[in-house]
Amino acid sequence: MSSYLLSNGSVFTSKGELISSDIIVCGDSVEFLGRGCAGHSFPSSIVDISGYTVFPGFTDVHVHFREPGFSYKETIKSGTLAASRGGYTTVCTMPNLRPVPDSLCNLRQQLEIIKKDAVITVLPYGAISVGEEGKTLSNMEELAPYVAAFSDDGRGVQSEEIMLLAMQRAKKLKKIIVAHCEDNSLLAGGYIHDGEYARLHKHKGICSKSEWGQVERDLRLAAKTGCAYHVCHISCKESVELIRQAKRAGMDVTCETAPHYLLLDENDLKEDGRFKMNPPLRTKADREALIEGVCDGTIDMIATDHAPHSSEEKGKGLKESLMGIVGIETSFSLLYTFLVKKGVITLDKLIKLLHENPNRRFGIGKPFENGKSASFTVFDLNKEYIIDPSEFLSKGRSTPFEGMKVFGKCKMTVAGGKIAWQDNLIKS
């Protein structure tokens, strides 16, 4: 369907305005028509979106789609379908794959799968180091034209010398260093936060300094090199304050957090692998500091860190399960229900966190305006539903939000003019 009309909906524009407008999709561009434009030549295919809201397509700068190398966990096809069902039209995929995209030869395997199977835009990260081992820099020069940025996500770069060299190289290449901040020397075998729950239930804990200590180190190196620097999935109050101070000093730094760190803390933990992720859920004070960071602009964007594993890998309790949860199909609904509807942030703020800010930082896409990108998503904001992992399009099923009631159901997602997801909506 190359040309079709969406009628009777509300459109949330790139200017943060909610307008009543029919929109026509022709190829990969959109046109806002206003309501009931007499004399306009409409296509034969019409989508009635009465009562629904159209948003710019969301961007998730932190996902794990596991292919190549671990397709039993997720594939580019299943991951992008899941993303489109969550309202996402662009994702950036992390490099902890097999082979690791540390050379153009290795990256090409992933690019070929993306070209063949992706239903939305997929932008891969290149690895900072060979094999993500933190010992030798990857071939950043040959990778640079093909990647969103550079990261060794899943592992912190332990060597200050390697991180310094990476930042210097990235600066020359005009690329961002995207850092998973984790000091292995402080982990002490831990697998949940080193807090009250760990002590009461006799679990080994991970201290917050394992995260913020590397944030502090990297900010010092970024100040020295002038490198554009982005911090992944911050989870503790110290990280928020360090980044806040760096921004005040004029540094080129941004950061993300994830829905689970904003909505849950260690008081919500259960003896179940679906509550195990890295970094872990921390304290109520940390969660409140993250919300404050979202509200005051210290935290630039919300990413899901969508990290699927098999049911066997996640079914071994807090101690033995692998780290990582899924979230790309539920993130908007959760954030809309528990932040927007409760008055913590505005809807405009949420769209900035999910669309405008990540796109601007990573140079992604075109604005959702007349004559431009036909990448958008349609939601029924009044639809209440219960999160049921058995309905996920992702191969992953492990979410701490299972069984929660939320508002906001995705009805349709269009990426580059092509329908990536629809919920019994299109009627010719």
**Helix 160-173 with 209-225: angle, nearest 10 deg:** 50
Catalytic positions, please?
A: 305
Q: Is 409 helix (H, G, I), strand (E, B) or coil?
A: strand
Nearest to 176 by CA among 61, 258, 306, 261: 61
Distances (CA, A) of 179 to 193, 215, 282, 375: 20, 8, 19, 28
Contact (Cβ atoms closer than 8 angstroms) between residue 131 and residue 100: yes
Tokens of residue 240, six digits: 């928020």
Q: How far apart are CA 133 and CA 255, in angstroms?
A: 23
The residues, ordered by sequence, that sit 6+ positions from 173 with a Cβ below 8 Å of its Cβ are 140, 141, 144
Using CA of residue 143, residue 145, residue 148, residue 150, what is the dihedral sign?
positive
Tokens of residue 256, six digits: 């993300």
Strand partners, 226: none
Nearest to 236 by CA among 283, 275, 302: 283
Q: How far apart are CA 126 and CA 180, in angstroms?
A: 14
The H-assigned helical ranges of 103-139 are 104-117
Using CA of residue 203, residue 208, residue 209, residue 210, what is the dihedral sign?
positive
DSSP for residue 373 = B
